[in-house]
């Protein structure tokens, strides 16, 4: 059986189910307990699990992230919630220099089973310091796994897997999508990390994306269908490990590729996808690969400029036409 629930509810179910299953799982972060979470993702968890496992912290990302990393190396499985990944910049020393490296530096003797989660990317008029996209930053670090999704079904299955993983996992969400609804089974299920998903079948062009840009691609695909262009939409879901095999299989079918990535174009996820496709599927391409990214500037505050900065269906359609009609 399945039912429609919101993204925030899917994330909450994943954490609650894992906390019931394993007493070593806990969550800590700003306002996760008494306030039920800044976005109400942890609503009701304090009442069920108590203050020793649902822990409100000071506004000190470096401090509570360090506590989480230490707890993970001692055998617990912490979930560290960042109110936004923009605030996680303050804790990068712990994530990059400690969580990501402890297994290697200990010659495999010490694991760090920890999940760092929270929203990433632009969410309207939040200004330059609160609108950054961090998937490529984290995926650049060996030792970290990176997941980025807004689909409730995917989010629940992937978060449960991430919590059980013995490596540190950066779990990226979107604050503008916490109310999105989707079908989620009532029975337990897991989704493996490193497996992309074809969200829409197509024959003429492949659109590859992740997180809320998948919604942009699906909207573009609907409009393209009215023009007689069949677009296949691939949701990466995991950024590291990256499932390029699913992308290549799609490109071998459609012979054209547009990669849509909210983050900056330089050295981002879209650049890595383009590299792997040209390496492994160059002979199948009937047109150069095209990318649609956020503009190569910090995100402006003006709502008009934010709209101009962000990838949107119109930009995707324009890119598809460029690879279709050469």
What residues are labeled active site?
61, 130
End-to-end CA gap in the chain: 47
Q: If residue 238 lies in a helix (H) or strand (E), which one and from where to where? A: strand 238-240
Evaluate whether 118 touches 88 at the Cβ level (below 8 Å).
yes
* Cα–chain center distance at 84: 13
208 vs 189: CA distance, rounded Å: 25
Q: Cα angle at 292 between 288 and 298, to 5 degrees?
A: 135
- Residue 224's alpha-carbon distances to 59, 91, 311, 324, in angstroms, are 46, 42, 16, 11
Helix-strand-coil split of the chain, %, nearest 5: 40, 20, 40
Query: Three-class SS of residue 53?
Result: coil
Q: Residue 271: count other Cβ atoms within 10 Å of its Cβ.
A: 18
Evaluate whether 177 touches 148 at the Cβ level (below 8 Å).
no
74 vs 165: CA distance, rounded Å: 15
Neighbouring residues of 105: CB distance < 8 A, sequence distance ≥ 6? none
Look at residues 141, 147, 142 and name the one whose alpha carbon lies nearest to residue 193.
Answer: 147
């Amino acid at each position: 059986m399945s039912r429609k629930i919101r993204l925030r509810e899917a994330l909450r179910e994943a954490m609650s189910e894992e906390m019931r299953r394993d007493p070593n799982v806990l969550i800590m972060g700003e306002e996760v307990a008494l306030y039920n979470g800044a976005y109400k993702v942890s609503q009701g968890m304090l009442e069920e699990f108590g203050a020793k496992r649902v822990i409100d912290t000071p506004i000190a990302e470096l401090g509570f992230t360090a506590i989480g990393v230490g707890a993970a190396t001692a055998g617990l499985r912490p979930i560290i919630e960042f109110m936004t990944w923009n605030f996680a910049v303050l804790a990068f020393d712990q994530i990059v220099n400690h969580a990501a490296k402890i297994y290697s530096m200990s010659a495999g003797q010490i694991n760090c089973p920890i999940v760092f989660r929270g929203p990433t990317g632009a969410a309207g008029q939040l200004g330059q310091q609160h609108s950054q996209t961090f998937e490529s930053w984290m995926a650049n670090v060996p030792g970290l796994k990176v997941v980025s999704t807004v689909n409730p079904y995917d989010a629940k299955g992937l978060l449960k897997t991430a919590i059980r993983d013995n490596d540190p996992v950066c779990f990226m969400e979107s604050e503008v999508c916490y109310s999105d609804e989707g079908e989620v089974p009532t029975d337990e299920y897991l989704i493996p990390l490193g497996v992309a998903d074809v969200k829409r079948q197509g024959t003429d062009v492949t659109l590859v994306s992740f997180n809320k840009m998948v919604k942009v691609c699906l909207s573009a695909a609907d409009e393209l269908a009215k023009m007689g262009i069949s677009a296949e939409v691939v949701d990466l879901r995991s950024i590291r490990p990256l499932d390029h095999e699913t992308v290549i299989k799609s490109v071998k079918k459609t012979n054209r590729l547009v990669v849509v990535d909210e983050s900056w174009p330089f050295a981002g996820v879209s650049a890595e996808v383009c590299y792997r496709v040209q390496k492994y599927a160059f002979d199948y391409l009937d047109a150069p690969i095209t990318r649609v990214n956020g503009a190569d500037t910090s995100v402006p505050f003006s709502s008009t400029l934010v709209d101009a900065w962000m990838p949107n269906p119109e930009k995707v359609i324009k890119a598809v036409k460029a690879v279709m009609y050469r």
